[in-house]
Protein backbone atom coordinates (compact mmCIF):
# COMPACT_ATOMS: atom_id res chain seq x y z
CA UNK A 1 0.00 0.00 0.00
CA UNK A 2 1.23 3.47 -0.86
CA UNK A 3 0.30 6.85 0.53
CA UNK A 4 -2.38 8.46 -1.63
CA UNK A 5 -5.38 10.70 -1.00
CA UNK A 6 -7.78 9.40 1.68
CA UNK A 7 -5.26 7.17 3.46
CA UNK A 8 -4.68 7.61 7.18
CA UNK A 9 -0.93 7.83 7.72
CA UNK A 10 1.03 7.52 10.96
CA UNK A 11 4.51 9.04 10.95
CA UNK A 12 7.30 9.56 13.38
CA UNK A 13 9.11 12.80 12.72
CA UNK A 14 11.75 15.09 14.08
CA UNK A 15 11.64 18.72 13.06
CA UNK A 16 14.78 20.82 13.26
CA UNK A 17 15.31 24.49 12.42
CA UNK A 18 18.15 26.10 10.56
CA UNK A 19 20.35 26.24 13.65
CA UNK A 20 20.05 22.48 14.05
CA UNK A 21 17.85 22.93 17.09
CA UNK A 22 15.08 20.31 17.51
CA UNK A 23 11.78 22.21 17.36
CA UNK A 24 9.38 19.30 17.63
CA UNK A 25 9.45 15.52 17.59
CA UNK A 26 7.02 12.61 17.92
CA UNK A 27 9.84 10.44 19.26
CA UNK A 28 8.97 8.80 22.56
CA UNK A 29 5.22 9.15 21.95
CA UNK A 30 2.59 7.94 19.51
CA UNK A 31 3.15 8.57 15.81
CA UNK A 32 1.42 11.61 14.37
CA UNK A 33 -1.68 10.33 12.56
CA UNK A 34 -3.24 12.39 9.75
CA UNK A 35 -5.57 12.06 6.77
CA UNK A 36 -3.52 12.40 3.59
CA UNK A 37 -4.58 14.77 0.82
CA UNK A 38 -6.68 17.10 2.97
CA UNK A 39 -4.17 19.79 3.90
CA UNK A 40 -3.92 18.65 7.54
CA UNK A 41 -0.14 18.92 7.54
CA UNK A 42 2.07 21.51 5.85
CA UNK A 43 2.07 21.25 2.03
CA UNK A 44 5.82 20.66 1.69
CA UNK A 45 5.70 17.62 3.95
CA UNK A 46 2.45 16.22 2.56
CA UNK A 47 3.83 16.34 -1.02
CA UNK A 48 6.93 14.42 0.03
CA UNK A 49 4.87 11.68 1.73
CA UNK A 50 2.82 11.01 -1.43
CA UNK A 51 3.63 7.52 -2.77
CA UNK A 52 5.64 6.40 0.29
CA UNK A 53 5.02 3.08 2.12
CA UNK A 54 5.32 1.82 5.69
CA UNK A 55 8.97 1.70 6.85
CA UNK A 56 10.06 4.30 4.30
CA UNK A 57 12.30 6.95 5.81
CA UNK A 58 13.30 10.27 4.31
CA UNK A 59 14.56 13.76 5.06
CA UNK A 60 13.02 16.84 3.51
CA UNK A 61 13.77 20.56 3.76
CA UNK A 62 10.68 22.74 3.46
CA UNK A 63 10.88 26.44 2.59
CA UNK A 64 8.54 28.85 4.47
CA UNK A 65 6.12 29.20 1.55
CA UNK A 66 5.35 25.47 1.74
CA UNK A 67 5.39 25.46 5.55
CA UNK A 68 3.96 28.18 7.81
CA UNK A 69 4.42 31.10 5.44
CA UNK A 70 6.59 34.18 5.66
CA UNK A 71 6.66 36.34 8.74
CA UNK A 72 4.08 39.13 8.32
CA UNK A 73 5.14 42.35 10.06
CA UNK A 74 1.52 43.55 10.05
CA UNK A 75 0.68 40.82 12.59
CA UNK A 76 3.09 42.31 15.14
CA UNK A 77 1.58 45.00 17.34
CA UNK A 78 1.77 46.65 20.76
CA UNK A 79 -0.88 46.64 23.44
CA UNK A 80 -0.92 48.24 26.85
CA UNK A 81 0.14 45.93 29.66
CA UNK A 82 -2.88 47.02 31.65
CA UNK A 83 -5.10 45.14 29.14
CA UNK A 84 -4.08 41.87 30.74
CA UNK A 85 -5.96 40.50 33.71
CA UNK A 86 -2.72 39.16 35.18
CA UNK A 87 0.11 41.37 33.82
CA UNK A 88 2.75 39.58 35.93
CA UNK A 89 2.16 36.34 33.99
CA UNK A 90 2.89 38.01 30.64
CA UNK A 91 6.45 37.12 29.74
CA UNK A 92 8.39 36.74 26.51
CA UNK A 93 7.69 33.33 24.97
CA UNK A 94 4.23 32.72 26.39
CA UNK A 95 1.19 32.59 24.15
CA UNK A 96 -2.04 34.43 24.80
CA UNK A 97 -5.41 34.24 23.12
CA UNK A 98 -6.52 37.45 21.51
CA UNK A 99 -8.15 39.13 18.55
CA UNK A 100 -6.50 41.27 15.89
CA UNK A 101 -9.72 43.24 15.47
CA UNK A 102 -13.13 43.20 17.06
CA UNK A 103 -14.85 41.06 14.41
CA UNK A 104 -11.96 38.62 13.92
CA UNK A 105 -11.88 35.15 15.47
CA UNK A 106 -9.61 34.69 18.50
CA UNK A 107 -6.13 33.43 17.69
CA UNK A 108 -2.94 32.53 19.52
CA UNK A 109 -0.52 35.41 19.84
CA UNK A 110 3.08 35.08 20.99
CA UNK A 111 4.50 37.56 23.46
CA UNK A 112 7.76 38.75 21.84
CA UNK A 113 8.65 41.73 24.04
CA UNK A 114 7.53 43.15 27.38
CA UNK A 115 8.31 46.69 28.55
CA UNK A 116 7.11 48.46 31.66
CA UNK A 117 3.89 49.63 30.03
CA UNK A 118 3.55 47.68 26.83
CA UNK A 119 3.47 44.15 25.48
CA UNK A 120 4.46 43.33 21.89
CA UNK A 121 2.34 40.54 20.42
CA UNK A 122 2.97 38.53 17.26
CA UNK A 123 0.09 36.79 15.48
CA UNK A 124 2.35 34.85 13.12
CA UNK A 125 2.70 31.12 13.57
CA UNK A 126 5.79 30.56 15.76
CA UNK A 127 7.43 28.77 12.81
CA UNK A 128 6.54 31.44 10.21
CA UNK A 129 9.54 32.50 8.13
CA UNK A 130 11.56 29.42 9.09
CA UNK A 131 12.99 26.79 6.79
CA UNK A 132 12.10 23.44 8.33
CA UNK A 133 14.03 20.18 8.20
CA UNK A 134 12.03 17.00 8.74
CA UNK A 135 13.35 13.53 9.40
CA UNK A 136 10.43 11.16 8.82
CA UNK A 137 9.59 7.47 9.14
CA UNK A 138 6.26 6.10 7.90
CA UNK A 139 4.90 3.86 10.68
CA UNK A 140 1.28 3.06 9.78
CA UNK A 141 -0.96 3.25 6.76
CA UNK A 142 -4.61 2.35 6.27
CA UNK A 143 -7.69 3.34 4.27
CA UNK A 144 -9.68 6.15 5.87
CA UNK A 145 -13.25 5.45 6.93
CA UNK A 146 -16.12 7.21 5.15
CA UNK A 147 -16.63 9.27 8.31
CA UNK A 148 -13.00 10.40 8.37
CA UNK A 149 -13.17 11.44 4.71
CA UNK A 150 -16.43 13.32 5.35
CA UNK A 151 -14.85 15.11 8.34
CA UNK A 152 -11.59 15.77 6.49
CA UNK A 153 -9.38 14.43 9.30
CA UNK A 154 -8.18 11.21 10.90
CA UNK A 155 -9.89 9.72 13.96
CA UNK A 156 -7.99 8.03 16.76
CA UNK A 157 -8.08 4.30 17.62
CA UNK A 158 -11.19 4.78 19.78
CA UNK A 159 -13.07 7.01 17.38
CA UNK A 160 -12.16 9.88 19.65
CA UNK A 161 -11.46 13.22 18.05
CA UNK A 162 -11.79 16.91 18.61
CA UNK A 163 -13.24 19.45 16.23
Q: Which residue ranges make up the site for Zn ion (CB under 5 A)?
A: 151, 161
Q: Is 17 exposed, middle or buried (0-12, 13-18, 19+ CB in 10 A)?
A: middle
Which CB atom, from 21 or from 162, has the smaller least distance to Zn ion?
162
Which CB atom, from 81 or from 153, has the smaller least distance to Zn ion?
153
Shortest Å, Cβ 6 to Zn ion:
14
**Residues 114, 92: contact at Cβ < 8 Å?**
yes
Which CB atom, from 9 or from 62, has the smaller least distance to Zn ion?
9
Residue nearest to Zn ion (CB): 151
Shortest Å, Cβ 10 to Zn ion:
17
Shortest Å, Cβ 148 to Zn ion:
7
- Return the sign of the alpha-carbon dihedral for residues 144, 147, 150, 151: negative
CA atoms within 13 A on the CB side of 126: 13
Amino acid sequence: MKITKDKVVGIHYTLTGDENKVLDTSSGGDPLSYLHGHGNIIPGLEAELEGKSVKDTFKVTVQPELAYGHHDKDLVFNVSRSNFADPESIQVGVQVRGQLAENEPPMLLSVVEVTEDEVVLDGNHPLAGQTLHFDVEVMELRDATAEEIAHGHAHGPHGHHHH
